[in-house]
Structure 1
Amino acid sequence: MSEQRIATRKGTTPINVWVTPEEKAQIEELAKQTGHSMSSLLRTLGMGYLPTSVLDSKLVLELVKINADQGRLGGLLKMWLTNDERFAGFDQIQMRKTIEVVLSRIQEMQQALLKLALKAEGE
């Protein structure tokens, strides 16, 4: 069996681009945000393609996690409010305090969702 050589760009012709330190920092940040190396980003842009942002994927993942937490808290609250037999022997005052804590946590989650949604909208 003969091994096929995988073509890489190393050793091919580089293109020098003169930039200020601030421009270089901007290019590095954009490369990081899109999951590219600086070389890959500049090549992609130079070929007319627009890179997609990795931040969008991260925001969506954060939103999914917060939404899952909301669902679990909502399910727990529903179970308590339907007078489940498993909680018949619990002290009513303690249950009320626990429910208030869960409601407070749900409000915190809603605020976190709103903050992430506004962050995504601003980008």
Structure 2
Amino acid sequence: MNAKMGDVPRRKYQPIRVWCLPEEKAQIEANARDAGLSVSRYLRNVGMGYKIKGVIDAELVRELAKINGDQGRLGGLLRLWLTNSEKLKSQDPDHTRRLIHGVMDRIVTMQDAMLKLVTAWRP
């Protein structure tokens, strides 16, 4: 909070009313949403001369989080296979090797997908 305000919330102070057309209001609300701000904070920042920085596309973040989670699960599975030698002894070594290489190939594929998503994103 601002040092001048102390512990008093902003809503206790005077609001500024702005008259606008419905289309203008919708555009302001969309701009605030795109910037990840409330309409009040967005208008205050614009009025105070601050540069508004948009937030990263939420869909991109969700997709990257999904890929990252999949990679974590594959990495955990790979670690389990490599550290649990007792269970691996009962498996055919060629089959185990193919499984491990398949998991590693899948991890590389996911890393490529993450790189494509990030490099394709333009603010």
* Aligned CA-pair RMSD: 4.1
Matched residue SS, 2:56:
helix
CA distance in structure 1 between the partners assigned to 2:48 and 2:69 by the alignment: 40
Q: Partner of 2:45 in structure 1?
A: 44
Listed as ranges, the gaps of 5+ residues in structure 1 are none
Percent of residue pairs bearing the same amino acid type: 44
CA distance in structure 2 between the partners assigned to 1:64 and 1:98 by the alignment: 25
Seen in structure 2, the aligned counterparts of structure 1 residues 102 and 119 have a Cα distance that, compared at 3 Å, is: same
TM-score normalized by the length of structure 2:
0.58
Letter in 1 for 2:36: G
CA distance in structure 1 between the partners assigned to 2:31 and 2:108 by the alignment: 34
Matched residue SS, 2:28:
helix
Letter in 1 for 2:99: T
Shift of 1:108: 3.4
TM-score normalized by the length of structure 1:
0.58
Shift of 1:43: 1.2
Matched residue SS, 1:49:
coil
CA distance in structure 2 between the partners assigned to 1:38 and 1:48 by the alignment: 15
**1:40-77 deviations in Å (ceiling 9; x for gaps):** 20111110112344437996797577557646645765
Does residue 33 of structure 1 match 2:34? yes
Match of 2:16 among 14, 17, 21: 14
Matched pairs, number: 117
